């Protein structure tokens, strides 16, 4: 039976770099995928690119490829790679990787460069004139009218079509922009197994979408961020990244290398299968809609889990007509301050400090749009679910974190300054002021949809001499 081994190389920015190198060196892989982008990263990269056309890609791609390409050469150029580290500037990212390949004398090294997922704001306006509405999928707002004059960037989450096309044209590495995390894997399963976007294959593509989800967060399926954290071992301090061996029927074994730490258990995969999927019967990705309730997990080895069919329904349905589209817009500034209260009576001191700051802001006429006062050591992570502290509870110290959102940077700074004054005003509160994080502009996201045909993707092959 035809099989393909696909390794996970990276999730987000930055990830453990040694994970990818271990997978490439010891994982006996045919393909490896690298996700480098979080939800907001593209907006940051687009603003970098607007200032400097040599930037706008993920800088970590370069050292990663410097480590990886010698292994690729040593493995007789066997495995293929794809990433979305091109961000807002895949061509320049490819140029820099080509230099590394050139230095290593990798003649004929081919990179497929995918562009077109960044949509100019002028095109967004045209689409609106043509009648398309960018309905906010979070809030239900019908269109972007309320934020149009604050828009910064717009990008579509694209599918595996161009990855497959790049491989067909002989690419060894594919560099894209906002290629969906999941499609980096779907492409690597679909191309070698010969799966097409047709009725015959939706069940298997559903499985690919599911397994792509399991692999796209790298070590998160192999025991990091796990409920089993305390019992899982990392003898050398290197978390394992998952590797999936998919067969032509869409069944698969997920494992990891013996040289890495961590673990592949039913539990470590299960906890990722329930992660951020929303409606599990309709897990929407650009290449297909997976039904994650039709997936069975079964331990078949120490670090090996079989993934097969659970029920009698198809594991996948035809891919959605539209692509996910994100518009980023300016939404004011956030300032933060952290201080540590020294006991005794930490809660009483913190409450008094809270009152004092509120009165200072009123006195000075400062009106932050939002303010959050939270106590590190009590409610900063779980909020009101923790309730009030018991009357006899007085820990030796307590952190106070204060955050403000304001329309302008100056106002955010002024609010923060008043928190700094707490160290003059109070007895124990000023004992441990830290250097505050820098005031940050808020890039808010407007998640919406765009028709596939409105995203003009293109593929170019670059090659070393």
Partner 1 sequence: MAKKRIKLIDICYYRSGDKGDISNIGLMAKTEKAYEIIKREVTPERIKSHFKGWVKGDVIIYPMDNLQSLEIMLYKALGGGATKTLRIDQTGKAMGNALVKMEIEVDESEL
Distance between CA atoms of residues 184 and 205, nearest Å? 13
Angstrom CA distances, 100 to 13, 183, 374, stand at 21, 26, 48
CB-nearer residue toward partner 1: 47 or 267 = 267
Rg from Cα positions in the chain: 25
CB-nearer residue toward partner 1: 9 or 368 = 368
Could you tell me the smallest distance in angstroms from the CB atom of residue 5 to partner 1?
25
Contacts with partner 1 by CB under 8 A lie at 39-40, 137-139, 225, 227, 267, 270-281, 292-297, 310-311, 331, 334, 370-372, 374, 376, 380-385, 401, 403-405, 442-445, 447
Residue with the two structure tokens 């939706």: 202
81's enclosing H/E stretch is: strand 80-83
Could you tell me the smallest distance in angstroms from the CB atom of residue 404 to partner 1?
7
Could you tell me the smallest distance in angstroms from the CB atom of residue 395 to partner 1?
18
CB-nearer residue toward partner 1: 79 or 241 = 241
**What is the pairing mode between strands 243-247 and 3-10?**
antiparallel
Could you tell me the smallest distance in angstroms from the CB atom of residue 432 to partner 1?
17
| Phi and psi torsions of 94, nearest 5° | -65, -40
CB-nearer residue toward partner 1: 189 or 443 = 443
CB-nearer residue toward partner 1: 111 or 208 = 208
324's enclosing H/E stretch is: strand 322-342
CB-nearer residue toward partner 1: 205 or 334 = 334
Residue with the two structure tokens 């967060």: 217
Could you tell me the smallest distance in angstroms from the CB atom of residue 47 to partner 1?
13
Strand partners for 464: none
CB-nearer residue toward partner 1: 17 or 309 = 309
Could you tell me the smallest distance in angstroms from the CB atom of residue 227 to partner 1?
4
Q: Where are the beta strands (DSSP E) in 220-315?
A: 243-247, 252-255, 283-285, 288-290, 295-301, 304-309
- Output the six-digit token pair for 124: 């967004």
CB-nearer residue toward partner 1: 120 or 441 = 441
Distance between CA atoms of residues 426 and 398, nearest Å? 14
Could you tell me the smallest distance in angstroms from the CB atom of residue 222 to partner 1?
14
Angstrom CA distances, 123 to 131, 157, 304, 382, stand at 13, 16, 48, 42
Could you tell me the smallest distance in angstroms from the CB atom of residue 50 to partner 1?
18
Residue 36 near residue 60, CB atoms below 8 Å? yes
Residue 316 near residue 283, CB atoms below 8 Å? no
CB-nearer residue toward partner 1: 138 or 453 = 138
Q: Which SS3 state, helix, strand or coil, does residue 405 take? A: strand
Could you tell me the smallest distance in angstroms from the CB atom of residue 388 to partner 1?
11
What DSSP designation does 161 have?
A: H
């Amino acid at each position: 039976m035809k099989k393909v081994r696909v390794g996970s190389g990276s999730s987000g920015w930055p990830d453990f770099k040694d994970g990818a190198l271990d997978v490439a060196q010891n994982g006996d892989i045919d393909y490896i995928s690298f996700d480098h982008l979080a939800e907001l990263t593209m907006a940051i990269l687009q603003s970098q690119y607007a200032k400097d056309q040599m930037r706008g890609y993920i800088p970590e791609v370069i050292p990663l490829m410097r480590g990886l390409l010698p292994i690729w050469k040593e493995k007789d150029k066997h495995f293929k790679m794809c990433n979305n580290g091109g961000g807002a500037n895949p061509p320049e990212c490819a140029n820099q990787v080509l230099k590394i390949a050139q230095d290593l004398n990798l003649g004929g090294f081919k990179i497929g460069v995918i562009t077109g997922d960044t949509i100019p704001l002028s095109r967004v306006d045209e689409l609106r004139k043509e009648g398309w509405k960018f309905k906010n999928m979070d809030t239900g707002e019908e269109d972007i009218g309320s934020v149009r004059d604050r828009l910064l960037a717009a990008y579509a989450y694209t599918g595996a079509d161009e990855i497959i096309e790049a491989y067909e044209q002989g690419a060894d590495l594919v560099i894209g922009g906002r290629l969906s995390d999941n499609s980096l894997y779907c492409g690597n399963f679909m191309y070698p197994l010969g799966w097409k976007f047709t009725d015959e294959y939706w069940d298997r593509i559903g499985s690919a979408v599911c397994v792509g989800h399991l692999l796209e967060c790298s070590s998160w399926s192999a025991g990091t961020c796990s409920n089993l954290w305390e019992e899982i071992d990392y003898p050398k301090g290197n978390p394992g990244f998952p590797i999936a061996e998919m067969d032509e029927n869409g069944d698969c074994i997920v494992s990891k290398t013996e040289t890495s730490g961590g673990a592949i258990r039913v539990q470590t995969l299960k906890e990722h299968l329930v992660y951020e999927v929303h409606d599990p019967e309709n897990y929407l990705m650009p290449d297909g809609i997976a039904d994650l309730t039709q997936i069975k997990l079964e331990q078949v080895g120490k670090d090996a889990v079989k993934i097969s069919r659970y029920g009698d329904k198809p594991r996948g349905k035809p891919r959605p007509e539209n692509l996910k589209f994100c518009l980023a817009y300016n939404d004011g500034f956030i300032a933060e301050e952290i201080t540590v209260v020294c006991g005794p009576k930490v809660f009483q001191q913190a409450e008094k400090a809270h009152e004092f700051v509120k009165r200072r802001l009123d006195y000075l006429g400062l009106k932050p749009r939002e303010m959050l006062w939270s106590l590190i050591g009590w409610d900063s992570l779980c909020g009101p679910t923790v309730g009030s502290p018991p009357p006899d509870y007085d820990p030796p110290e307590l952190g106070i974190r204060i955050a403000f959102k304001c329309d302008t940077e100056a106002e955010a700074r002024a609010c923060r300054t008043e928190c700094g004054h707490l160290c003059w005003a109070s007895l124990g509160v000023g004992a441990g002021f830290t250097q505050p994080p820098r005031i940050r502009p808020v890039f808010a996201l407007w998640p919406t949809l765009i028709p596939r045909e409105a995203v003009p993707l293109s593929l170019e092959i670059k090659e070393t001499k």
